[in-house]
A and B are shown apart, each in its own frame.
Chain A
Amino acid sequence: GENVEQHPSTLSVQEGDSAVIKCTYSDSASNYFPWYKQELGKRPQLIIDIRSNVGEKKDQRIAVTLNKTAKHFSLHITETQPEDSAVYFCAASPLSGGYNKLIFGAGTRLAVHP
Chain B
Amino acid sequence: EAGVAQSPRYKIIEKRQSVAFWCNPISGHATLYWYQQILGQGPKLLIQFQNNGVVDDSQLPKDRFSAERLKGVDSTLKIQPAKLEDSAVYLCASSLKGGLAGNNEQFFGPGTRLTVL
Contacts and interface: CB of A to CB of B under 8 A. Distances in A.
Contact of A100 (B58, B104, B107, B108): B104
A80 interface: no
Contacts of B42: 4, 6, 89, 91, 104-107
B91 to A, nearest CB: 7
A114 interface: no
Nearest to A51: B104
Contacts of B52: none
Interface stretch (A11-19, A40-48, A60-68, A70-78): A40-48
B43 A97 contact: no
A8 B31 CA distance: 32
Chain B interface category by residue count: 20 to 34
Interface residues of A, number: 28
Q: Is the interface of A mostly helix, strand, loop or mixed?
A: strand
Nearest to B113: A41
Contacts of B41: 106-107
A64 to B, nearest CB: 14
Interface in B92-112: 98-100, 102, 104-111
Contacts of A102: 33, 43, 45, 106
A27 B105 CA distance: 19
B84 interface: no
B102 to A, nearest CB: 8
Nearest to B110: A43
Interface of B: 31, 33, 40-45, 48, 50, 55-56, 58, 91, 98-100, 102, 104-111
The 7 closest A-B pairs by CB, nearest first: A104-B42, A43-B108, A99-B98, A99-B55, A96-B56, A32-B104, A44-B108
17 contacts: A6-B42, A31-B100, A34-B106, A43-B91, A43-B109, A43-B111, A49-B105, A96-B56, A97-B56, A98-B100, A99-B31, A99-B56, A100-B100, A101-B48, A102-B43, A106-B40, A106-B42
